Structures are given as structure tokens and as C-alpha cells.
């Protein structure tokens, strides 16, 4: 039985992954951690073990690993793209030094590690459409630099020390449950909230800018399925391209108008996040993930929009 420690568990991915993993592995077998407890996540914290952990403190992590008999770490503690450009020093420190601590702990205590990468590993020299699994990675952001370096570091620990490291390159993630935390693709979450609350949205990403996106239920499936995949079949451990849908702001607005006909999309482009978006792929080739561990998304744009608006309208108590 897995005994799992999730770092950064109160963030966008972690707060939903923790619930899903506790359903699969049992509440007592999934230990969640973050820099501090948050009142907004009180129910999650009270439903199973919670520990205060800073990934920069390897000794504290080791203490928790020993306390619960951890055999798997899901490392979600990270600074995202837009925030990383504002604080590149912090981005490097958390994303790289924190990961190094996790990998060293895994080496010493024979743990397996899942840590996500991102489409941010790609840059202006990368093919934009159907971006290959193996291609040029010359990112233009500190976040992207840390993710490329992180992939290489995880590969190194697998080949050098036999640490079972695995990861996926997440596109933009869309969720009705938890707001994102400073990424370039955040507009694709905010647009649904504003459509319901105000009937309009001002996008910080420009018209015609396509980016790969994924609905959170598919992202959670990807983590669980890759973690449980047959190790002997895995060639691209760190990390796999995974894809579900690719769209620009106009396309997501058109999908919303099928349910909210009067929805208005405006633009107030943020040059920093737009520059980041322009350096990323339009779409990814995820054939390696499909071949090596059976990756297959369940949600496309209209499916996601229908579910997002239904769930959010209940959450916000707004009738469509």
C-alpha cells in the first residue's frame, strides 16, 4: 500500500489531488503538507493527516517521512510562471532547491517521486504545433528554466541512483474547485467566474493566442495513472507531454455563449503574461504518453464548459 506525502497540497492541484488520493488510498495513507494551515482548506486538513512542511527544510521532511512510513512523495510545492517572473530568485529557490531536497530524501530512504513539469519548458525555438515529446527546450522564463532543469535532475536521480521518478508536462489547468495561483493560463479559469457573476470578462491574454489546456479531472487521472503505470514500459519518465484541448480566448468565449448567450469578452492584455504565452506551444503531441501508459483525456472544450458552469453556478449560487 502506498503511503503518500503531498507537498504544496493546499494549492490549485494539491487540494483536489489530496481528496482524490484519499478516496483511492485511504485518508490515513495520504499525508498532506504546506507552509501553513489555511482556514479555506479546513475540511481537507481535518479529513486526514496534515503537517506543516517547507520543502527547503529537508530535515523536517525526513521527520514526517519517518513518522508516517512514507514511500511516495508527490512534490507540488512550486512558484508558477507569472509569479516566477516577478520573483525569479524565489522561483529558483523553491522549484530547484526544494526539488533537490525531495530527490535526496528519496535517494536516502528509497522513495518514489512524482513531480509535475509544464509546457513552460518550451520556448520560441520549439515547434509550435503538435510539439514533439523530444524537441528543443529553450524557455524564456525562470519558471520554464526550473522545469527543464527539474526534468533533467529527476532523470539523473533515476539513472544514477535508481529513484523511481515520474512526471508530466501539464498544460493550463482549469478547475471549478480551486482558483489558480499566478500562472499564465489563469484567464481560462477566471473567464468562467466572470461570465457567471458579471456576464463579461476582460482577458489579459490576447485574441488568437492558442494554448493547450486541460480540465482538472483529467489532470488528476494523469497523475494517478502514471504513478501506477508499469515501470518497464516507461521511456519518457520526466516528463510526458499530455494534452486534451487547445483554444484561444475567442473559442472559450464561444463555448460559454452556448449557455450564456449575452456573454461579452473584452481585452486588457498583460504584456508580461502575453509574452510568456507567445513563447509556448499552440498544441502538444502526447503520443508517447498514450503509448507508454495509456493516457487519454475525457474532456474537450464544450464538455468542460458545460460541467464548469453547472458546478460553478451551484458554488456561487447563481442561476444560469
Are 49 and 75 members of one domain?
yes
Please check whether residues 184 and 90 belong to one and the same domain. no
Catalytic residue among 25, 68, 100, 143: 143
Give whole-number Cα distances, 157 to 74, 103, 174, 238, in Å: 15, 7, 31, 11
Give the CATH number, domain containing residue 302.
3.40.50.720
DSSP labels, 55-71 = TT-HHHHHHHHHHHT--
Predicted local confidence at residue 183, as pLDDT:
79
pLDDT for res 55? 97
143 is catalytic: yes
Residue 2: what pLDDT?
Answer: 96
Instruction: Please tell me the pTM assigned to this model.
Output: 0.93
Q: How far apart are CA 130 and CA 134, in angstroms?
A: 11
Look at the chain and report how many structural domains it folds into. 2
| 86 and 196 fall within a common domain | no
pLDDT of residue 4: 98
- Give the residues of the chain that fall short of pLDDT 70: none
How many helices (H) and strands (E) are present in the chain, helices listed first?
A: 13, 14
Can you give the residue range of the structural domain that contains 254?
172-213+244-316
| The predicted structure's pLDDT at residue 78 | 95
Q: Could you tell me if 159 and 273 lie in one domain?
A: no
> What tens digit of pLDDT does each residue of 112-163 get?
999 999 999 999 999 999 999 999 999 999 999 999 999 999 999 999 999 9
Residue 258: C-alpha distances to residues 195, 266, 268 (Å): 12, 18, 24
Residues 85 and 106 in one domain: yes
- Regarding whether 176 and 135 lie in a shared domain, the answer is no
Query: In terms of domains, do 279 and 165 share one?
Result: no
pLDDT for the residue 184: 84
Place of cell 492558442: 210
First vs last C-alpha separation in the chain: 44
pLDDT of residue 54: 97
Amino acid at each position: 500500500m502506498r503511503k503518500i506525502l503531498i507537498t504544496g497540497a493546499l494549492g490549485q492541484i494539491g487540494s483536489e489531488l489530496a481528496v482524490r488520493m484519499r478516496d483511492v488510498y485511504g485518508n490515513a495513507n495520504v499525508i498532506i503538507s504546506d507552509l501553513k494551515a489555511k482556514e479555506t482548506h479546513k475540511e481537507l486538513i481535518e479529513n486526514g493527516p496534515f503537517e506543516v512542511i517547507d520543502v527547503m527544510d529537508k530535515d523536517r521532511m525526513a521527520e514526517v517521512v519517518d513518522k508516517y512510513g512514507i514511500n511516495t512523495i508527490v512534490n507540488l510545492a512550486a512558484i508558477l510562471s507569472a509569479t516566477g517572473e516577478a520573483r525569479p530568485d524565489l522561483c529558483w529557490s523553491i522549484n530547484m532547491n526544494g526539488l533537490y531536497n525531495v530527490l535526496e530524501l528519496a535517494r536516502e530512504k528509497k522513495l518514489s517521486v512524482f513531480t509535475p513539469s509544464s509546457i513552460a519548458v518550451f520556448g520560441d525555438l520549439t515547434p509550435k504545433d503538435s510539439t514533439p515529446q523530444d524537441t528543443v527546450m529553450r524557455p524564456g522564463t525562470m519558471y520554464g528554466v526550473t522545469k527543464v532543469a527539474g526534468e533533467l535532475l529527476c532523470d539523473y536521480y533515476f539513472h544514477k541512483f535508481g529513484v523511481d521518478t515520474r512526471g508530466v508536462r501539464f498544460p493550463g489547468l482549469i478547475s471549478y474547485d480551486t482558483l489558480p495561483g499566478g500562472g499564465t493560463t489563469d484567464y481560462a479559469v477566471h473567464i468562467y467566474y466572470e461570465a457567471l457573476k458579471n456576464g463579461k470578462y476582460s482577458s489579459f491574454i490576447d485574441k488568437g493566442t492558442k494554448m493547450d489546456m486541460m480540465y482538472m479531472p483529467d489532470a488528476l487521472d494523469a497523475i494517478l495513472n502514471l504513478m501506477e503505470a508499469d515501470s518497464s514500459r516507461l521511456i519518457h519518465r520526466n516528463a510526458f507531454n499530455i494534452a486534451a484541448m487547445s483554444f484561444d480566448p475567442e473559442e472559450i468565449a464561444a463555448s460559454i455563449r452556448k449557455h450564456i448567450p449575452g456573454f461579452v469578452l473584452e481585452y486588457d492584455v498583460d504584456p508580461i503574461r502575453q509574452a510568456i504565452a507567445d513563447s509556448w506551444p499552440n498544441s502538444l503531441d502526447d503520443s508517447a504518453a498514450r503509448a507508454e501508459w495509456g493516457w487519454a483525456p475525457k474532456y474537450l472544450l464544450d464538455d468542460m464548459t458545460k460541467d464548469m458552469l453547472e458546478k460553478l453556478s451551484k458554488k456561487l449560487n447563481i442561476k444560469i
